[in-house]
Structure 1
Amino acid sequence: MAKYSLLLLFLTLLLSCGPKVEKTKWAIAIHGGAGNITRDLIDEKLVQEYNHALQEALETGSSMLQEGAKAVDVVEKVVTVLEDNPLFNAGKGAVFTHNGRNELDAAIMDGRNLNAGTIAGVGDIKNPIRAARAVMDQSPHVMMVGKGASKFAAENGIEIVDSSYFYTDKRWKSLQRVLQKSEKNGTVGCVVMDVEGNLAAATSTGGMTNKRYGRVGDVPIIGAGTYANNKTCAVSATGHGEYFIRYTVAHDISALMEYKELSLAKAANLVVNGKLNSKAGNGGVIAVDQKGNLVLEMNSSGMFRAWANSKGEKGVAIFKD
Structure 2
Amino acid sequence: MAKKKPLAIVIHGGAGPDSDHIHENRKGYEDGIKEAVEAGYKILEEGGSAVDAVEAAVIKLENNPLFNAGRGSALNANGEVEMDAAIMRGDDQASGAVALIRNIRNPVSLAKAVMMNTKYRFLGDMGALEYAKKIDIRMEPSSYFITEHQFDAFSKKRQEEFTSSDRIGMDQLNARMHGTVGAVALDRDGNVAAATSTGGTENKKMGRIGDSCVIGVGCYAKNNTCAISGTGDGELLIKNIIAYDISALMEYKGLTLQQACEEVVLKRVKKDEGDVGVIGVDGDGNIALVFNSERMHRGWKTSNRQQGIEIYATKK
User: Do these two structures clear the TM 0.5 threshold for a shared fold by scoring above it?
Assistant: yes
Shift of 1:281: 3.3
Contact 2:230 2:279 in 1 (8 A): yes
Q: In 2, are the aligned partners of 1:91 and 1:166 still within 8 Å (CA)?
A: yes
Which structure 1 residue ranges, 4+ long, deviate > 6 Å from structure 2? none
Per-residue Cα deviation, 1:290-318 (whole angstroms, up to 9, x for no partner): 11100000000110000010022100000
Q: Which runs of 5+ in 2 are unaligned?
A: 161-169
Q: Which one of 132, 136, 151 corresponds to residue 111 of structure 2?
A: 132
1:1-321 equivalent positions in 2, closer than 5 A: 25-37=6-18, 42-43=22-23, 45-179=24-158, 180=160, 181=170, 182-183=173-174, 184-278=177-271, 280-321=273-314
C-alpha contact 2:74 2:202 (8 A) present in aligned 1: yes
The alpha-carbon deviation at position 231 of structure 1 amounts to: 1.2
CA shift for structure 1 position 147: 0.6
Which shows bigger deviation, 277-286 or 171-180? 277-286
Amino acid at match of 1:220: C
Whole-angstrom distance in 2 between the partners of 1:192 and 1:59: 12
- Give the match for residue 11 of structure 1: none
Q: How many angstroms apart in 2 are the aligned matches of 1:234 and 1:279?
A: 27
Cα offsets for 1:97-150 (capped at 9, x unmatched):
011000000000010100000000011111100100011011111110001101
Paired-residue identity, %: 44
Q: Is the CA contact (8 Å cut-off) linking 2:78 and 2:206 kept in structure 1?
A: no
TM-score by length of 1: 0.90
Deviation at 1:37, TM superposition (A): 2.2
Q: What secondary structure, in the 3-state scheme, does the structure 2 residue paired with 1:91 have?
A: coil
List gaps (5 residues or longer) in structure 1: 1-21
What code does the residue aligned with 1:31 have? H
Distance (Å, rounded) in 2 between the aligned partners of 1:133 and 1:41: 32
Which residue is equivalent to 1:4?
Answer: none
Structure of larger gyration radius: 1
Q: How many residues align?
A: 298
Alpha-carbon distance between aligned partners in 2 of 1:158 and 1:267, rounded to the nearest angstrom? 37
Distance 2:301 2:89 in 1: 20
* TM-superposed deviation, 1:178: 2.5
Query: Is the contact between residue 277 and residue 299 of structure 1 (CA under 8 Å) also seen in structure 2?
Result: no
Deviations 1:59-94 (A, max 9, x none): 111111111110001101110111000000000010
Name the TM-score, length of structure 2 as normaliser: 0.91
Distance 1:284 1:103, change over 3 A: same
Q: 1:41 to 1:138 in 2, by over 3 A?
A: closer
Distance 1:205 1:199 in 2: 21
Instruction: Provide the rounded CA distance (Å) in 1 between the counterparts of 2:154 and 2:194.
Output: 29
